[in-house]
Structures are given as structure tokens and as C-alpha cells.
Structure 1
Amino acid sequence: MAGSQTPAPGKSADRLGAGSGCATNHQQVRDKYAPRIDGKFEVEPYIAEKEGRPFAFLQCYLLSESDRESYGYSIEEIHFGIDQFIGKPSLFNNRYGTQMMMEFVQFIFHDKQADTVTVDPEVSHPRAIRCYEKCGFQRIKEIDGGRKWLMAISFGQ
């Protein structure tokens, strides 16, 4: 996986992965993620590539103080949240997601000096949950009224 701070123009997929709440077309992706890429949100956007071709969007961010408090994390430690999606359904079930996640988590632990990395997949998205578990994430608790799992992995786990 290679990351870059700016995606190549016109490389977004027309149709994205299934799942409740996922963006489904180019304009929705642009509306949701362009402000992040433009620095209007405090997230770091990345594009994952395989054999020189972009295939996924990832982002990481420091958890807010209120999130750390509600999740029961120490204020003294560094906790990151991540979000990601693979742009083409034809790339699902090819281990791209697992490899991408493992590399991204290691990058955050080593480059960002994170103590914990969290992700919050919807409970109705078993493919994502299985991928995160393969990477070492553990289910911590249900959040957002039971709609999502808080999953976490700690450095050295």
C-alpha cells in the first residue's frame, strides 16, 4: 500500500461498496471527502495503491477528548480513529482490505506514535468486521445506539 495526501483527479469509483451509510456515487464521495482532502477537517487523507493503481481511500485522526472520555481512554495516551473504503466492489474478497489495514495500522503506530487505533464499523457490515478482526482489532462495545461496534487495537497487540 502506498499513500499520498492528494488523490489523482478523476480516480474515484462511480459506485462504491455496499453497506448502510456508504457513499454510492461520485458526487456523494466528492461532497463527503473533498473537505477532508482540502484540510477543512482535522483528518489526514490517504489513497491506497496496488501495483501503482489507486483502489481505496483512508483517513486517520486523533480522537476528540469527548470520544476518548466516552470510550474510556486515558487523556495521557494517543488514540487515533480511522475510516476507509475500497472503491471498487470487484476488489472485495481479494485480501486488499486486510493488507491495507495491517499496513495502515502499523503506519499509525510507528509514524504517529499511537497507543490505540479505533474503528467503528456498522454492526450490519460483517465483511468489514471480519477484516478488522483478522488485523487484530477487538470488539469493545456497541456505540451509536447499537448501530456500530467500537473496535480497537493497541500498540504491541
Structure 2
Amino acid sequence: MRVFQTGGLAVRQLSAVDYPLLAKWLSDASVLAFYEGRDNPYNLAQVEQVFGSKADRHVTSCIVNYDGTDIGYIQFYPVAADEKEKLGLTMSKTIYGMDQFIGDPSFWNRGLGTQLVTAMAQYLCQQLHANQVVMDPQTWNTRAIRCYEKAGFHKIKQLPRHEWHEGEWRDCWLMSYPLEEGGEMP
């Protein structure tokens, strides 16, 4: 099922037929360096287990397609009340989180990540009525952070020792989209 399309970029819901492609991407060291960690490659059985259970956790998993080629993965989910509280977010707002990667490195450095993140944030706000969209990239991942900033996200605060990656706890940035009227953070 198509979630949205803008120009040559299309996002559709993940299905079991996509699992081998995810296993390919999530066993590629160049992708894993930025997503999940090179010490955590996935085989097909792990993809089936992890991605098959995401719907039970209210996560919408999607494949990103560009001009007819599947190039990446994106997921979005409503941020639960306990997570809002932990992150210091406004409890009464509809807040979505999202995570993504371009799984085919030949499509890196083309601006497609910025296009994807911009389009998904707009979709979440316009179609799902999100007041705010958040992400938590690791602080060392400057390429991703710059992509998200180009898409309209802003750093809210640092999250110390927030994510386990390649054998250690890593600091992350809590980033938010959009700025509210008057330039205040949501």
C-alpha cells in the first residue's frame, strides 16, 4: 500500500516480500555503520522476526522507492506517553517519531535523504495531524544531522548515553520538526 509519492520518490508499506532486501541492506557494513551497527548484521530470519513484530508495537514500516528502484527503509510511529515523559516532550501533543536509512549506497549523497525526511515529516503533520515529529540521531553522525536540518528539523537537546551502537552507549541529539509560529520549539 502506497503511503505517499512526491516526484520520483515513493514510500509504500513494507511486506514480507521485502524481507530479503532488508536482510541485504542490514548485512552491508557501510549501511550498518550508521544504522544498527556493524556488529549487528541481520540475516533473513532476524529481519522476519524484528520487522514482522513492528506492527504489534504500532510502528509503520515502509520501503522507499526512487524512480522504480527500492533504495531504503523508513518507519514512523506515535511516541508513547512514557517516552514523551522521558524525553521531556509535551504530553498533550500528537508526536510521531521516525527512523530511516538509504540502504543502497549508490543512492547516497544525491539529496534523496533530505527529500525523504522532508516529505515524511510533512506527511505526518498534514495527513496524520502530528504536532511534532522527532528523531534521535547519534551526535557523531554529522551527515545525517545536516540532512535533517536541511529538512527543517532542529536540535532540542542532547541525550547522553541514549543508544547502544557497536559495543558502547552513544550520545544522541533529540531533533524536532517543525518550529511553531514565532520560532518557539514545540
**Could you say which TM-score interval applies, normalised by the shorter chain?**
0.7 to 0.9
SS at match of 2:11: coil
SS at match of 1:147: strand
Aligned length in residues: 155
Specify the alignment match of 1:3 in structure 2: 11
Distance (whole Å) between structure 2 residues aligned to residue 156 and residue 52 of structure 1: 36
Q: CA deviation at 1:122?
A: 0.6
Q: CA RMSD in A?
A: 2.3
**Sequence identity (%):** 27
Contact map agreement 1:19 1:124 (CA 8 A) in 2: no
Contact map agreement 1:20 1:124 (CA 8 A) in 2: no
Distance (whole Å) between structure 2 residues aligned to residue 147 and residue 107 of structure 1: 28
Q: CA deviation at 1:151?
A: 0.4
Taking structure 2 as the reference length, what is the TM-score of the superposition?
0.74
1:69-116 Cα offsets, whole Å, 9 max, x none, are 233222221011101111022221111101111111111011110000
The one-letter code matched in structure 2 to 1:11 is: L
SS at match of 1:66: helix
Residue segments in structure 1 that go unaligned for 5+ positions in a row: none
Distance (whole Å) between structure 1 residues aligned to residue 151 and residue 93 of structure 2: 22
Query: Which of the pair is proportionally richer in strand?
Result: 2
- List aligned pairs for 1:9-20, cutoff 5 A: 9=18, 10-12=20-22, 13=25, 14-15=27-28, 17=31, 18-19=33-34
Q: CA deviation at 1:33?
A: 2.6
**Misfit runs of 4+, over 6 Å:** none
Query: Which of the pair is proportionally richer in helix?
Result: 2
